[in-house]
Amino acid sequence: MYSVYQHWDKLKTCMVGRSYPPEFYSYITNPRVRNVMERIANETEEDYQKLITLLESFDVTILRPELKDSIEHYRLENGTYQAPPMTPRDYSGMIGNKFYIDLGPGYAYKEIAKHIGINNKIYLNKNIDTASITRVGKDLYFGTTPYTLPFIENLNHKTKLFPEYRCHIVDTQGHTDGCFCPVVPGLIVSLYDIQNYKETFPGWETVYLPENGYYAIDEFIKLKEKNAGKWWVPGEELNDDFTEFVETWISHWVGYVEETVFDVNMLIIDKKNVICNNYNKTVFDVFERYGITPHIINLRHRWFWDGGLHCITSDIDREGVMEDYFPERGEPNV
């Protein structure tokens, strides 16, 4: 039976997302647009393969969503196409030994759900995902969105849904994995403006990151004036044909990169190994103190897809059992 109780326990089985292959974009007649989409497709899969190779070197079993042969399978009624199954974490979550899943774009996760369902009970649920839930043993931390229920109502709902856990609401106004990351017991990497952790993680060290780096990127600032900061493909800031195509036809594919800092969007292999997007001296110095080795996998188009390393994966199975890191809180729901 698969299970995940803490996301720093040794990773054993992991989903990795998938983008449309370059040939899916053959319908685009404008070469200034088609060539860019084909390049993004090729480089995205190259980066996925680098990640997969690294995970397999740690004996992690990889599961990937499936795609139909023709993009026409993904055509919507309004003439646009469904987004590819890039971010399985947005559609799934293993909470203890219960697996919650939305079958996703074009039912891309259907076969994975069948595979997991051989040993685990499957819950078809569109509102449970571990991009918005942080699992720390007996404690579950739920992020908020502009559409979240009022605080008390939200907390009561989560408590009824997970009675065996102590549930907490964290005002992140977005996915928790884009705002903070408890890396190992006692250590959190966080944005400055998210929260004070004295109550939610008492006694834990918090490393706050400096201002988000993309504010210093001139190219991003130029494009921000055209697309409100929703996405970015380096080198295509002045390609108005491409910008118009994205905004007209696939704006529902891309996220809002200004709401997420991918430096905290990390995938933890175990207590000694963490996968990061890039180098950060402040964070890496702290990692050295904790005996953690960072492994850099640069997702070249994370600014376009709005999905960091944690988003494009979903941990399905980890070693370990439920721990209690805050026993002074008493038993859940007492």
Measured distance CA(14)–CA(61) in Å, rounded: 6
Q: Is residue 265 part of a domain?
A: yes
Angle between helix 240-249 and helix 31-57 axes, rounded to 10 deg:
70
Q: Is residue 255 part of a domain?
A: yes
Among 20, 16, 70, residue whose Cα is nearest residue 42: 20
**Backbone phi, psi, residue 106, to 5°:** 60, 25
Average pLDDT of the residues of the chain: 86
**Residue holding tokens 């569109």?**
126
Distances (CA, A) of 182 to 116, 125, 201, 204: 27, 25, 9, 9
Provide the pLDDT for residue 223. 55
Provide the pLDDT for residue 224. 57
Burial (0-12, 13-18, 19+ Cβ within 10 Å), 326? middle
Residue 127 has pLDDT above 60, yes or no: yes
CB contact at 8 A, 206 and 286: no
Average pLDDT on 228-250 reads: 70
pLDDT tens-digit series, residues 177-220? 888 999 999 999 998 666 778 889 999 999 988 655 444 445 55
Number of domains forming the structure of the chain: 1
CB contact at 8 A, 238 and 284: no
pTM of the model: 0.85
Between residues 100 and 255, which one has the greater pLDDT?
100
Q: Is residue 129 part of a domain?
A: yes
Give the CATH number for residue 293. 3.75.10.10
Q: Is residue 328 part of a domain?
A: no
Residue 264 has pLDDT above 70, yes or no: yes
Provide the pLDDT for residue 226. 59
Q: Is residue 78 part of a domain?
A: yes
Taking each continuous run of H as one helix and of E as one strand, the counts in the chain are 7, 15
Residue 147 has pLDDT above 50, yes or no: yes
Provide the pLDDT for residue 211. 53
CB contact at 8 A, 132 and 175: yes
Find the helix or strand (DSSP H, E) in which 45 lies: helix 31-57
Of 48-57, 91-100, 107-116, 261-270, the poorest mean pLDDT is in 261-270
Q: Is residue 1 part of a domain?
A: no
Residue 307 has pLDDT above 60, yes or no: yes
**Percentage of residues of the chain with pLDDT beyond 90:** 52
Q: Is residue 331 part of a domain?
A: no
Q: Is residue 29 part of a domain?
A: yes
Burial (0-12, 13-18, 19+ Cβ within 10 Å), 230? buried
CB contact at 8 A, 313 and 50: no
Measured distance CA(310)–CA(180) in Å, rounded: 12
Tokens of 44: 């995205």
The domain of 126 spans 11-322
Distances (CA, A) of 295 to 77, 177, 182, 298: 42, 18, 17, 10
Tokens of 213: 């780096």
**Backbone phi, psi, residue 269, to 5°:** -80, -45
Provide the pLDDT for residue 245. 72
Of 28-32, 121-125, 126-130, 189-193, the poorest mean pLDDT is in 189-193
Banded model confidence at residue 258, pLDDT cuts 50, 70, 90 = very low
